[in-house]
Amino acid sequence: MKLHHRLCGLASLFFGLFFSNLCSALELPLFKEEAEARGYILPEAYGLSLGYLRVSQNINVDSISLSGLGALDNLGIKTEGGYQESEVITLKADVWILPFLNLYAIGGKLTGYSETTISEVKLFPNLPGPGIPIDEPFRLDLDGYTYGVGTVLAGGYQSVFALVDASYTKTQLTVITGEIDSIVISPRVGYDFSRNSDIPLRAWIGAQYQDIQQTLTGNVKDLPLGDIAGSIPDSATFTVKQSLANKWNTLIGAQYEFTPNWVLISEFGFGERKSAFVTLDARF
């Protein structure tokens, strides 16, 4: 039995006929009958999915600021390159409010790391001349909890469909102090094979835009600063601000529908940012 019908049954039992009729009138998505009369095949309104995402990409180290060093707070640190790998386990709950509008909430667990190379340190960055060469890798382990919200706008004509997925998430880190703010927008265009065959498959291509800002804080003694590390007090801290080197990449994905209630989705990202995503979606 569908979740909506169960809720309507409970409404009738506890609140009487008026609330039962109101519940039935508000069956989601709204305007479902009108959309199906026009030939659209709609998914079940409610969804709960478990997903896994792996991402590798280049990052920019925008700044490294120091505190607790007294006169050396303005220590100049030069970096070269940057790279990040992360894995995220997600749990998402969603609902189709309208035939073309889906809203969802998402939570998850992130693990991974970011790495750059500290190439030079200048004790007095405002003075001309080279600094102290270092050329040492600097790695920050990432571990934290992710939560956020998003929406999907979808439409189609016959077997062709298009959608745009937009989300905002925040990750609160636990191993080190810091947070990651992410805005992700993903337009996709695809083809529904199930409309003209017995194959319950949808496939698509698309692109993904990510705007991610990372602010990470740790102990300065963890920085590979060479010979000057011994003169640094234990209480000194650093703050690293990072952003993505490339905000766009290409997506290719597919969806296989075992039944209307169980759907497997996989998607891969190519280009400067590489990703692999798989999720099992339960709909009711």
Domains of the chain: 1-28 (no CATH), 31-283 (2.40.128)
Residues facing 27 on adjacent strands:
none
Residue 53: per-residue pLDDT: 98
Residues facing 218 on adjacent strands:
238
pTM of the model: 0.85
Residue 234: per-residue pLDDT: 75
Amino acid at 242: Q
Residue 15: per-residue pLDDT: 47
Tokens of 188: 């996709």
In eight-state DSSP terms, residue 74 is G
Spatial CA neighbour of 91 closest among 51, 55, 53:
51
Based on the number of CB atoms within 10 Å of its own CB, is 218 exposed (0-12), middle (13-18) or buried (19 or more)?
middle
Residue 227: per-residue pLDDT: 63
Residue 19: per-residue pLDDT: 42
Residue 149: per-residue pLDDT: 98
54 vs 166: CA distance, rounded Å: 19
Tokens of 260: 């209307």
Report, as ranges of residue numbers, the positions in the chain whose pLDDT lies below 50.
1, 7, 9-12, 14-15, 17-20, 22-23
